[in-house]
Structure formats: structure tokens, C-alpha cells
Amino acid sequence: MNSKLPQAGTTIFTVMSTLAREHNAVNVSQGFPDYEPTAELLELANKYLLGGYNQYAPMPGAPALRETISQLVTHCYGATPDPDKNITITAGATQALYTAIATLVHPGDEVIVLEPAYDCYVPAILVHGGVPVYSRLREPDFSVDWQDVKQKITKRTRAIIVNTPHNPTGAVFSAADLQTLAELVSDYGIYVISDEVYEHMVFDDRPHASVHRHAVLRDHAIVVSSFGKTVHATGWKIGYICAPEKLTTEIRKIHQFLVFAVNHPLQLALAEYLRVPEHYTHIHAFYQRKRDLLRRELADSRLKLLPCAGSYFQLVDYSAIAQERDTDLAVRLTKENKLATIPLSVFYHDQHDPHLLRICFAKQDATIKKAAEILRGL
């Protein structure tokens, strides 16, 4: 068998969650909540499951959900995407990103990937014959080195993938980052794939620097988001793509043969639930409180806390405690201390290891406190 992804194994998230179960460890590794969506949303799911909506949804997504997304984007960012021409419902952000990459990347095309990077971008580039070109985010704040990005643009560069708020570092873009990105796009004619799945989790009264806010970027970008994060239902795997009409036409050609259509009753439940802006406008406060709880609990530990401006991940620097590789430490912590985290090096193609672990704080307060107690004991 001539593998298309010879390097790919089981993702670190599956590895660490499996290890956590085997060792009965507190699991702050994989990014999913250990609490349920609201009762109201579950009741809506029930209503549509029992209400005769169990056959295929329309290929681009239920019109009601596309309408709700258009209203959400207007409410949050002031843009007015057309539900018919710009919005496509996908099976989570993973399928959205795969479809976006499949749409843009031809064999030999280069795609700029900012590292550390979420793990589904590069395999999709490789499967389509593309070439990932890496630019490292600057430590310790994990800001983009735009000079480096610029130097890496060639005639073959087709796209750049950006992610704000950022998994795994919790860094966020500023308006200046958007402006610089817009200048690159205009100067070099490249596309942007903007992964904004944590769009409602930006803290300390900062606005989310969404590509939706920037007219130049909107015309050259495929924006991806996911409801899994926003409504505490990562298992529903429903997300969306927002793109200019010409790109949407091409995106849907691929989408229709990849999944054709996405879970119909749950799309309708989300459409009705998210028509109420309060169901997404309070999410940042909900997670900011959890971030602050974790940081308070770790304040007198020997770990150094890196800034966390968004997402539901906190990075901790363990160099005062251990000098071993982060992957070794993460496994040892799970087995010996009963705490599962994610080592940062797995997000780099060259396993760069700045001695950082990622902690997910989308957890009940009791789980956060238990995790912090273990970490304080190190």
C-alpha cells in the first residue's frame, strides 16, 4: 500500500484520552467539555428529532440555520453574508477545513501553516498534493512573525491558514494582525483559510478579530467555525463555512460528494437556539471565569502560566519542575499523578519542545480544582 499519509498515526487527543481512561486520570487533555449543552438546546433537539425532520437536509444546509448564521455574523461582526450564496453547513469544522483545503489546493501548491498548529490542516494539504510551508509563532506570546510569513510567500503559495483564538496557545489576533494579513492577500493574491471555531471565547473585553470584520479579507477568505465549541456539544459535529460566492460554488461541488448533507434535526435545533443572541454572547464570560479559576488555583504552583487571551486552553511552562521532553512528562503525569494534559511539541512538524503543556479548562469547576491540586503538588 502506497500510503498518502505515511507519517500519520493516531492523534495525540485520542492517545491521551485513552491513557487517561486506562489510568483513571483527571482528563484536561482533549478539548471537550465535561458538562452538557443547556436543557433548552436538548429540548429543541428532541423537538426536531420527534417532529419529522429525520431525512436528508438540503445539500448546502438547512435554510433556517444558514439564516441564523447570517444574523449571528451581522450581530457580532457587522458583515452581512448571504445565506444562499455564502454559507454552507458542514460536519464540524474538520470537514469544513478539509473541504476548504480540497477546494484551493492543487498538486504542488504551497500553503503557509503557522506553528504550533491544530493537527488537521497539514494532512489535508498533503492528501491533495500540496506542500505545507511552516512559519513559527513567536514565543512566549505566540504572535505571528509577519516578516517571516512574507519571506516564505512564493509564486506557488496558494493560501495561508490562520486560527484565532488559537489552539493550542490561547493567543488571539489584533486588528493590526488582520490589517497585515489583508496587505499580504492584496499584494500576493493568496487566499486565507480562517479557523475561528473559538470565535465566542475572547477574554478581557477584547473584540474577536474575525476575518468577517475586514472587507478585503472577506473577499479572499474561507471562514470556518463550529457549533461544538459554542454550545458545549462537540459530539454533534456541526459547523459552517462562510466564503465569497465564487468560492462557495467550488466548495459546494466538493462538499456534496464528501458528505452531501449534515444532520438535519440538529441543524434545526441549532437554528432556533442561536436565533437568541444571548445564547452565544455570554460564552466569553463563562469561559473567562473558568480561565481565571484555573489561573488562581495555579498561582502558587511551580508552573509558569503563559498569557491566555482566548480559546479554552491554558499553556503552562514546566521548566522549573522537570527537564524531560513534554511527551514523556505528559505520559508520566497521566500514569503516576493521574492527570492527562497535552504536550505542545505534537503541534510542531519538527517536534519543537519549549517545555509547555496544554490544559483544557472547558471542565466543571470541580475538575479544574482537582487538576490544579495535582499540578500544585509537582
Q: Nearest distance from residue 331's CB to ligand PLP, in Å?
A: 21
Which of 33, 60, 83, 92 touches ligand PLP (CB under 6 A)?
Answer: 92
- Distance set, CA 285 to CA 37, 42, 153, 228 (Å): 16, 22, 38, 17
Q: Nearest distance from residue 323's CB to ligand PLP, in Å?
A: 29
Stretch near ligand PLP under the rule CB under 6 A, chosen from 64-72, 179-187, 234-242, 249-257: 234-242
Q: Which is nearer to ligand PLP, 199 or 297 (CB)?
A: 199
Which of 239, 265, 310, 343 touches ligand PLP (CB under 6 A)?
Answer: 239
Q: Is 242 in the site for ligand PLP (CB under 6 A)?
A: no
Q: Which is nearer to ligand PLP, 17 or 167 (CB)?
A: 167
Categorise residue 135: left if φ over 0, alpha if ψ from -120 to 50, beta otherwise: beta
Closest residue to ligand PLP: CB criterion = 92
Can you say how many angstroms the Cα of residue 181 is from the centroid of all Cα atoms in its chain?
A: 19
Q: Which residues contact 78 (CB under 8 A, 6 or more apart)?
A: 212, 213
Q: Is 265 in the site for ligand PLP (CB under 6 A)?
A: no
Q: Nearest distance from residue 321's CB to ligand PLP, in Å?
A: 27
Q: Nearest distance from residue 55's CB to ligand PLP, in Å?
A: 23
Q: Which is nearer to ligand PLP, 83 or 239 (CB)?
A: 239
Q: Count residues binding ligand PLP (CB under 6 A).
A: 14
Q: Nearest distance from residue 319's CB to ligand PLP, in Å?
A: 25
Q: How far apart are CA 287 and CA 200, in angstroms?
A: 9
Which three three-digit cell numbers place residue 113?
501553516
Q: Is 88 in the site for ligand PLP (CB under 6 A)?
A: no
Q: How far apart are CA 155 and CA 153, in angstroms?
A: 7
Q: Where are the beta strands (DSSP E) in the chain?
A: 26-27, 87-90, 110-115, 131-136, 157-163, 191-195, 221-226, 239-242, 304-305, 313-317, 339-340, 342-343, 356-360
Q: Which of positions 97-126 make contact with ligand PLP (CB under 6 A)?
A: 118
- What 1-5 contacts at long range (C-beta under 8 Å, 24+ apart), as own/partner pairs, is 4/126, 4/127, 5/123, 5/126, 5/127
Q: Which is nearer to ligand PLP, 91 or 297 (CB)?
A: 91
Number of H helices, E strands in the chain: 16, 13
Q: Nearest distance from residue 272's CB to ligand PLP, in Å?
A: 20
8 A C-beta contact, residue 258 and residue 95: yes
Q: Which of positions 298-357 make contact with ligand PLP (CB under 6 A)?
A: none
Q: Which is nearer to ligand PLP, 86 or 94 (CB)?
A: 94
Which of 15, 87, 93, 247 touches ligand PLP (CB under 6 A)?
Answer: 93
User: Which residues are 110's β-sheet partners?
Assistant: 131, 157
Can you say how many angstroms the Cα of residue 88 is from the centroid of all Cα atoms in its chain?
A: 18
Stretch near ligand PLP under the rule CB under 6 A, chosen from 86-94, 271-279, 322-330, 368-376: 86-94
Question: Collapsing DSSP states into helix, strand and coil, what is residue 106?
Answer: coil
Which of 12, 31, 81, 356 touches ligand PLP (CB under 6 A)?
Answer: 31
Q: Which of positions 151-180 make contact with ligand PLP (CB under 6 A)?
A: 163, 167
Q: Nearest distance from residue 118's CB to ligand PLP, in Å?
A: 4
In degrees rounded to 5, what are phi and psi of residue 254? Answer: -80, -45
Give burial (CB, 10 Å; 0-12/13-18/19+) of 326. Answer: buried
Q: Which is nearer to ligand PLP, 197 or 356 (CB)?
A: 197
Q: Is 37 in the site for ligand PLP (CB under 6 A)?
A: no
Q: How far apart are CA 143 and CA 308, in angstroms?
A: 12
Which of 44, 197, 283, 298 touches ligand PLP (CB under 6 A)?
Answer: 197
How does DSSP classify residue 73?
A: H
Residues near ligand PLP (CB under 6 A): 31, 92-94, 118, 163, 167, 195, 197, 226, 228, 234, 237, 239
